Amino acid sequence: MKIAIFNDNVLGVVKGNRVTDVSKNVGWDHADPNASFLRLMDQFDDLKEEIERETDKGISYSLDEVTFKSPVPSTRKIWAAPVNYRKHQEEMNKMFNNAPRTIEDIALFLKSPESLSGPSDPILLPFKDRRTDHEAELGYVVGKKAKNVMADEAKDYIFGYFALLDISIRGHEERTWRKSFDTFTPIGPWIVTADEIENPHNLEMKLWVNDEIRQDGNTKHLIYDCYKCFEVACNNMTLLPGDIIATGTPEGVGPIEPGDRVRIKIDQIGEFTVDVKLSSAMNSFVKS
């Protein structure tokens, strides 16, 4: 099932080129989408049949008619995987003459939950003179509380998958600082529930900047796959429903500038395109 949030926090299910409003079937509160989303995940197994019936007969809209929002309304934390593809490690070494360590050495890092944005929101660059790169990634949302869950059990705790952009300022500051600005984690266009993704470790992923293809990878090349990332995260701290994990980017990262359009597409998930703009509240970068 493809679960979306659109327009004024309406809950929808996407089928083909249309999205159906299923808000009334799950007691969805448009004024509190986060609480409603957490309740939906908790009760999803019981609600699934009712939602599917409504999808076939309810009021639907063309995808072109609606504005999609972040399919996860809010999150407590975003765990992200650094250097989780070998070829990305190689390109970073060529780019900066300093081979970065992989996820095997440095584990995961946290991004600010305030960096979360949706598939219709622009990426806002905070600096005129700092290189800022795109990174295409497969992301997923945690559906159940988890602590010390091993990789072979992780599948049961993942609610669904989506495309994710990890926007990254290059520099010597900590990753968390460089990757946590507002709008630096766009996700979407919707959540594909885990039961519909038979194997998340063989999904083609592409990214374009304007008409130029920059990234063309496959999740089969992950060093730590989705489930191993889950294990590493919840061995560190308790994962809660609504938490997000970003699994890392393949080779082909490159700079984005104001005026660019960034398009990400993942097999079996979907695609979205976001504009790149300069923030109206630009920061002055001062080294201490």
Answer yes or no: is 71 within a domain: no
Q: Count CB-CB contacts under 10 A for residue 182.
A: 16
Based on the fold, state whether residues 88 and 52 are members of the same structural domain.
no
Distance, in Å, from the CA atom of 62 to the CA atom of 189, rounded to the nearest integer, reads: 14
Based on the fold, state whether residues 176 and 257 are members of the same structural domain.
yes
Answer yes or no: is 158 within a domain: yes
Based on the fold, state whether residues 112 and 134 are members of the same structural domain.
yes
Q: Count CB-CB contacts under 10 A for residue 42.
A: 14
Answer yes or no: is 125 within a domain: yes
Which structural domain range is residue 33 located in?
A: 2-65
Based on the fold, state whether residues 101 and 206 are members of the same structural domain.
yes
| pLDDT by residue, tens only, the chain of 288 residues | 999 999 999 999 999 999 999 999 999 999 999 999 999 999 999 999 999 999 989 999 999 999 999 999 999 999 999 999 988 888 877 777 766 789 999 999 999 999 999 999 999 999 999 999 999 999 999 999 999 999 999 999 999 999 999 999 999 999 999 999 999 999 999 999 999 999 999 999 999 999 999 999 999 999 999 999 999 999 999 999 999 999 999 999 999 999 999 999 999 999 999 999 999 876 655 443
Answer yes or no: is 149 within a domain: yes
Based on the fold, state whether residues 182 and 51 are members of the same structural domain.
no
- Residue 288 pLDDT: 37
Based on the fold, state whether residues 184 and 157 are members of the same structural domain.
yes
Answer yes or no: is 284 within a domain: no
CATH of residue 99: 3.90.850.10
SS3 12: strand
Based on the fold, state whether residues 46 and 97 are members of the same structural domain.
no
Based on the fold, state whether residues 95 and 57 are members of the same structural domain.
no
Based on the fold, state whether residues 83 and 43 are members of the same structural domain.
no
How many domains does the chain contain in total? 2
Amino acid occupying residue 177 = W
Answer yes or no: is 208 within a domain: yes
pTM for this one?
0.95
Domain boundary among 65, 89, 117: 65
Based on the fold, state whether residues 112 and 220 are members of the same structural domain.
yes
Answer yes or no: is 287 within a domain: no
Based on the fold, state whether residues 174 and 228 are members of the same structural domain.
yes
Distance, in Å, from the CA atom of 50 to the CA atom of 91, rounded to the nearest integer, reads: 48
- Residue 99 pLDDT: 63
Answer yes or no: is 28 within a domain: yes
Q: Which residue in 208, 214, 187, 212 sits closest to 269, CA to CA?
A: 187
Strands (E), the chain: 2-6, 10-15, 18-21, 60-62, 78-80, 109-111, 116-117, 123-125, 132-134, 136-142, 158-165, 168-169, 185-193, 204-209, 212-218, 244-246, 254-255, 261-266, 270-278
Domain boundary among 44, 65, 86: 65
Q: Dihedral sign, CA of 83, 89, 95, 99?
A: positive
Based on the fold, state whether residues 274 and 209 are members of the same structural domain.
yes
Domain boundary among 65, 92, 111: 65
Residue 220 tokens read as 């089969």
